[in-house]
Amino acid sequence: MNKKLLFFDIDGTLYNTKKIIPQSAKDAIKAAREQGHEVAIATGRSPFFLKEVSDELEVDSFISFNGQFVVYKGQVISSRPIPLDVLQRLTKKAEENNIPIVYLDEHQMTSATKEHDEVRASMDSLFYPMPEHDAEHYKTTAIYQSLLYISEEQKPAFIEAFPELAFIRWHEFSDDVINHDVSKAYGIEQFIKHTDFTMADVIVFGDGLNDVEMLELVAQEGTSVAMGNAVPQAKEVASIVTDHVDEDGLANAMVKLGLLTK
């Protein structure tokens, strides 16, 4: 098999429901790398929040913030922070509606709200502490993603008010907010510009709503894999659907695709 470029989502793809990487997945990725394939991460997480995974898998290439911040072999190759004026308007509208908002830069997460049950619930789902309270931090550093704690009923008003932004549901209480023309698919396009790979060489693995564009794009020329636990929208556009993440879905797909032998 020709050398492939493999992109792995984290939550629900690399991480199982216990928030750990199954041994079968670790072994499969190690074997794929030993056979000459290149490994990268494609996640909605920030760089500081994927360090544990990248260290565990010895990966120094990643697409983070759903495509807003891309690193290849330790070097930043694409960076698309949310414009400050847009963040200021978003913050103002959130404040007017008593909606919590969290800001993510390359190094940390800060919150405009000191304490909120919905923010805490979402952080608990990630096994992450409450963000530091700092309502002014976003004004002095590049922010690549925001977490906006809106209900589905509130969401249309924000979509209408901010056509320059994309609102992607990641938790029952919260949306990821990024630039409207950026996604993991965009990140992959930027990534391959800096390598000798083509889209036909790419294989992606994902499960969530923020993986749909990536799975759909890569399926056109390469191969995209939706996990058995993936949302229906991801399964509909993927090249293949594998088993549940808790049932060795990642390793099974890699065997099926000929990336390694069982």
Q: In this structure, are 97 and 165 located in the same domain?
A: yes
262 inside domain: no
pLDDT in tens, 75-118: 999 999 999 999 999 999 999 999 999 999 999 999 998 889 99
Number of domains in the chain: 2
Please report, for the domain that includes residue 135, its CATH number: 3.30.1240.10
pLDDT of residue 127: 81
Please say if the pLDDT value at position 71 is more than 90: yes
**Number of helices (H), then strands (E), in the chain:** 9, 14
CATH number for the domain spanning 246: value is: 3.40.50.1000
Write out pLDDT tens, residues 5-46.
Answer: 999 999 999 999 999 999 999 999 999 999 999 999 999 999
Query: 132: burial class by Cβ within 10 Å (0-12, 13-18, 19+)?
Result: exposed
Asked if residue 170 and residue 138 are part of one domain, the reply reads yes
DSSP at 131: P
Are residues 74 and 196 located together in one domain of the fold?
Answer: yes
| Residue 194 belongs to a domain | yes
Residues 249 and 165 in one domain: no
The domain boundary, picked from 138, 154, 179, lies at 179
Determine the distance from the C-alpha atom of residue 159 to the mean position of all C-alpha atoms in its chain, rounded to a whole number: 20
Note whether residue 221 is domain-resident.
yes
Residue with the larger pLDDT of the pair 258 and 127: 258
Q: CA–CA separation, 218 vs 233, rounded Å?
A: 15
The answer, yes or no, to whether residue 262 has pLDDT greater than 70, is no
By annotation, the residues acting in catalysis are 9
Last residue of a domain, one of 150, 179, 208: 179
Domain final residue pick, 179, 214, 239: 179
Domain match, 246 and 169 both: no
Looking at residue 260, what is its pLDDT? 81
pLDDT at 242: 98
160 & 220 share domain: no
Asked whether residue 175 falls in the same domain as residue 187, the answer is no
- Residues 163-175 have a mean pLDDT of 93
Helix (H) or strand (E) holding 217: helix 212-219
pLDDT given at position 261: 63
**Average pLDDT for residues 177-181, to the nearest whole number?**
96
Residues 12 and 46 in one domain: yes
Predicted TM-score (pTM) of the model is 0.88
Residues 105, 129: one domain?
yes
Domain interval for residue 28: 5-79+182-256
Cβ(192)–Cβ(170) under 8 Å?
Answer: no
Give pLDDT, residue 125: 86
Q: What is the DSSP letter of 125?
A: H
Asked whether residue 122 is domain-assigned, the answer is yes
What band does 170 get if pLDDT is binned at 50, 70 and 90?
confident
Q: Identify the pLDDT of residue 157.
A: 95
**Residue 114 confidence (pLDDT):** 86
